[in-house]
Amino acid sequence: MSTTRRMMLAALAGGALTACGAPERSTGPAAATQPSTPSPSPAVSSAAPSPTMTVRPARLPAVTRAEIVARYGHAVPRTWGFDAPGVLRRLPAGQKAVALTFDACGGRGGSGYDRALIDFLRRREIPATLFLNSRWIDANPAVFRRLAAEPLFEIANHGTRHLPLSVTGRSAYGIPGTRSAAEVYDEVAGNRAKLTRLLGSPPRFFRSGTAYCDDVAAGIVTALGERFAGFSVNGDAGATFSPEQVGTTVGAAPAGSVVICHMNHPEGGTARGIAAAVPRLLASGHTFVRLSEAWH
C-alpha cells in the first residue's frame, strides 16, 4: 500500500475536522440564547442579524437550560468520539443513496464561502444538508438567505461556537470542548434559536464542532429535539485534502454513506474534488438525499 493511500485511510478513520480553528469561549449563562461573540476578522459582521434578513418569532426548545442541568448535570460520560449512542453515522438500512453534508464553521479563518462548490451542486441538482455555525451565518447573511430559500438544500445546526460536545471539557484537535451540561445546552440551543427565528421552524439535525461528542452530550441533543448527525466518510479531512484526494475518497463512498466535507474554505480542494466524485457516483448508480429524506 502506498504512503499516500495509507495517509488517506488514516484521515478517513477520523481525520482532522478542525477547518475553523479554535472558537471564542463565553462563560455566562446568557449564552443559551445570545449569538456568539464574533471573531475580530473584518469579514465577520455584528452578532445581530442583518436588517434585511427576515426574522421570525423564535420557537425555543421545550426543555429549559435548568431542566437540562437538573437531568444531566451529574451524569458521567462513558464514551468520547464519533459514535456515541444515537449518533447517525450511516443512512438507515436498505438506503441505497449517499448523503452529502457540508459544514460551515465560522470564526477566525473559517467564515469563507465556497461558491464554486454550491454552484456545482445547483447545476447538477445534487441535494445536500448544510451544517451552519452561528458565526458563519452572521458573517454571510445574504448567502444564508439564498441557501435557506432553496429546496435543494437543508439547513442544519453546527453549533453556536463550534465546540466539541462534552460535559467534562474534553478536547478534540486542540479545541477545548464544552465543560458541563449547561454549556452543552448553550452550544446547541443558541444556534437552534437563531435558525428557528430565521427559518420559521427549528433545525432537525445537529453536528458539533469537530463532530466529537460524549454519550451524555449526545443525549442532551436528543432532549432538545435534534438528532446528532455524524459521518461514515470523511470526504475532505477538514478542508485539507487536495482535489484528487477528495475525488478519490468521496467517489468511493458506498451506498448508505453520510459524507462530511466543508463549504467554508473556497481555497481548498473540496469543490473540485466533489465535482470529480459526483459524476463517478452517479455513473455507478448512486443517488443523493438530504438527511431529512432518509430519516423522516
What's at 85, amino acid-wise?
P
Q: 296: buried, middle or exposed (CB in 10 Å: 19+, 13-18, 0-12)?
A: exposed
Q: State the pLDDT at residue 21.
A: 56
DSSP label at residue 230: -
* Per-position pLDDT tens, the chain of length 296: 444 444 444 444 455 665 655 544 443 333 333 333 333 222 222 233 333 333 344 445 579 999 999 999 999 999 999 999 999 999 999 888 999 999 999 987 699 999 999 999 999 999 999 999 999 999 999 999 999 999 999 999 999 999 999 999 999 999 999 999 999 999 999 999 999 999 999 999 999 999 999 999 999 999 999 999 999 999 999 999 999 999 999 999 999 999 999 999 999 999 999 999 999 999 999 999 999 999 97
State the burial class of residue 267 (Cβ atoms within 10 Å of its Cβ: 0-12, 13-18, 19+): exposed
Q: What is the value of pTM for the model shown?
A: 0.83
Cα dihedral 90→275→210→87 (10° resolution): -10
In angstroms, rounded to a whole number, what is the distance separating the alpha carbons of residues 223 and 174? 28
Q: Can you count the helices (H) and strands (E) in the chain?
A: 10, 11
Tell me what pLDDT residue 296 has.
79
* In 197-240, beta strands by DSSP E: 205-206, 213-214, 227-228, 233-234
Joined together, the cell numbers standing for residue 11 give 484521515
Task: Report the alpha-carbon distance of residue 98 to residue 104 in Å, rounded.
Answer: 20
For residue 94, CA distances in Å to 97, 181, 256, 294 come to 9, 35, 8, 10
Residue type present at position 202: P
Q: Are 215 and 72 in contact (CB under 8 A)?
A: no
Contacts (Cβ under 8 Å, ≥6 apart) of 94: none
* CB neighbourhood size of 6 (10 A): 10
Report d(CA 1, CA 7) in Å as an integer.
10
Instruction: Specify which residues 99 forms β-bridges with.
Output: 258
pLDDT at 122: 98
The predicted pLDDT at position 184 comes to 98
Single out the residue of 258, 257, 255 nearest to residue 286, CA to CA.
255
Q: Is 31 exposed, middle or buried (0-12, 13-18, 19+ CB in 10 A)?
A: buried
